[in-house]
A and B are shown apart, each in its own frame.
Chain A
Amino acid sequence: DGGITQSPKYLFRKEGQNVTLSCEQNLNHDAMYWYRQDPGQGLRLIYYSQIVNDFQKGDIAEGYSVSREKKESFPLTVTSAQKNPTAFYLCASRDQPGADTQYFGPGTRLTVL
């Protein structure tokens, strides 16, 4: 089955700690994205990557970092510099050069205690 997996589903972190969220896809898609969703708000873009070893900041990149060492993996690190890290984090991928449709993983709920 092709798809996007995110782990873990729920993650708890103590304030001041860094944490890494996993995102893996076996769709052979070139582009991958990270969003966060907060209650009553839409999806806001954190980082995206169009190709291995390259990535760009989205609208709310401060306090986050990413890497893209492999085509199928795009991990997101939430650092202690992120002021409001509690949120629902969504990873997506998109086939290039196809249409702009993105396909999403199941998400990770991060709670800072």
Chain B
Amino acid sequence: DQQVKQNSPSLSVQEGRISILNCDYTNSMFDYFLWYKKYPAEGPTFLISISSIKDKNEDGRFTVFLNKSAKHLSLHIVPSQPGDSAVYFCAASVQGAQKLVFGQGTRLTINP
């Protein structure tokens, strides 16, 4: 039972353009969502998060959008840079549950 799904295993974007990574969830109890970035053979690095009381959160080039009615969130990276090439994981939690549920990841490749 995959509660958090990233349906695109990979995405290729030209440098300077916008990268949009998508994530869907099925558990309506999730109230906190996170995005992590991971390079090969390294641990994931926390990027940005959003609480269910918001529908948007920005941090520099990164913006996360949450659509609760659709149970969908997305990560926008503008402008995309070569260093953004990595695997991106979305994760979700229920406050107080102490655990995160991760999606399968999307490999983002930024082409020069």
Contact = CB atoms under 8 A, between A and B. Distances in A.
Nearest to A103: B46
A107 B104 contact: no
A107 B42 contact: yes
Contacts, number: 59
Interface of A is mostly: strand
Most chain A CB neighbours (cut-off 10 Å) among B43, B93, B105? B43
Contact of B43 (A41, A42, A100, A105): A105
A50 interface: yes
Nearest to B5: A42
Interface size range of chain A in the complex: 20 to 34
Chain B interface main SS type:
loop
A104 B45 CA distance: 7
A100 B100 contact: yes
B42 A106 contact: yes
Given A99-B32, A99-B49, A101-B46, A42 B102 contact: yes
Interface residues on B, range: 20 to 34
Given A99-B49, A100-B32, A42 B41 contact: no
A24 to B, nearest CB: 14
B16 interface: no
B100 A107 contact: no
Nearest to B6: A42
B104 A90 contact: no
Interface string A36-76: 00001111110010100000001000000000000000000
A102 interface: yes
Given A48-B98, A100-B32, A100-B93, A109 B41 contact: yes
22 contacts: A4-B43, A6-B43, A9-B41, A31-B98, A35-B102, A40-B105, A41-B104, A41-B105, A42-B102, A43-B89, A43-B102, A45-B100, A90-B44, A92-B43, A96-B98, A99-B32, A100-B34, A100-B100, A101-B46, A102-B46, A104-B43, A106-B43
Interface of A: 4, 6, 9, 31, 33, 35, 40-45, 48, 50, 58, 88, 90, 92, 94, 96, 99-107, 109
